[in-house]
Structure 1
């Protein structure tokens, strides 16, 4: 073959690496399987990328998981915070968050919440992960507290216990209900917890 023919042969372009879509696929794997049960094989199958490509883009497995966890926080926790910041009565916004949690609990694979799952699986064993989770939880607590304070200022609920205490109670109750739903496969615990807490705080 002549040099001219060699030059005229089209050169294939490498497949474009979509970092955001790949990371979302990675989140789904960790969310479904957890950290320890996820191997590079599952990540490769879910993303269509080879191990080296994933490592080059995100780092080793621990680094990949940290990025996936932060992605989950940005997406899912971000949605909860936006709901709590939306217009409308505080009670309705809080109820919408519970509906969001119930929807997660009803998922066919009973995957629940990645943060709650990670807390049970890893807990304080990894300081970096624990710090990421603590900051995320505090953000949610703070937003609930603002919503409860608005309800107090409007005279909808009593001013004691304080808004921050009610927020912490709500997040703890939600976490427990979602975890119970994941273990039992029954999402009714989320709805029951929401109804009980609403009656306790709002009297209805």
Structure 2
């Protein structure tokens, strides 16, 4: 079933810490310092915005998928430091089934452990459940990525299971196991939202 691009106007999400606005081609310049200087950020990613060409490809793919109604990418701006911090997106958007995935999330190293991610996820989850009326928001990660998995669990995600060797990696013949986690709409309203708000 197809997604519905019209359901995603050029939304901007904001709270007292962060602004999430639609990623644009011109954001190449805002993200380039990360691509040139912090290449280790994407070790577990298959699409890596490393270097000038890598970043151009990364943004081009995001724009193409957005135009098709399959994804909605954001650039992250940290109001506390007055700097661009990274990127995140909704993807695998399925309006008929009321599901989507939240991922492709990365931040520069100086923003790790600052609480920025929780502000971003709070805004994104609230929009998904309360504006888009999603029933399920899914998260996936390389099962070896302990940092990412811990961050998702801290949001209130529950582990659904492991998809064994479901994706290739940049390591040649190695295929990854992917861990699948999720938050359901009733879980959001029954406690996840309030617990997350308390931690902001």
Q: Calculate the TM-score normalised by the size of structure 2.
A: 0.32
Normalized per residue, the structure richer in strand is 2
Normalized per residue, the structure richer in helix is 1
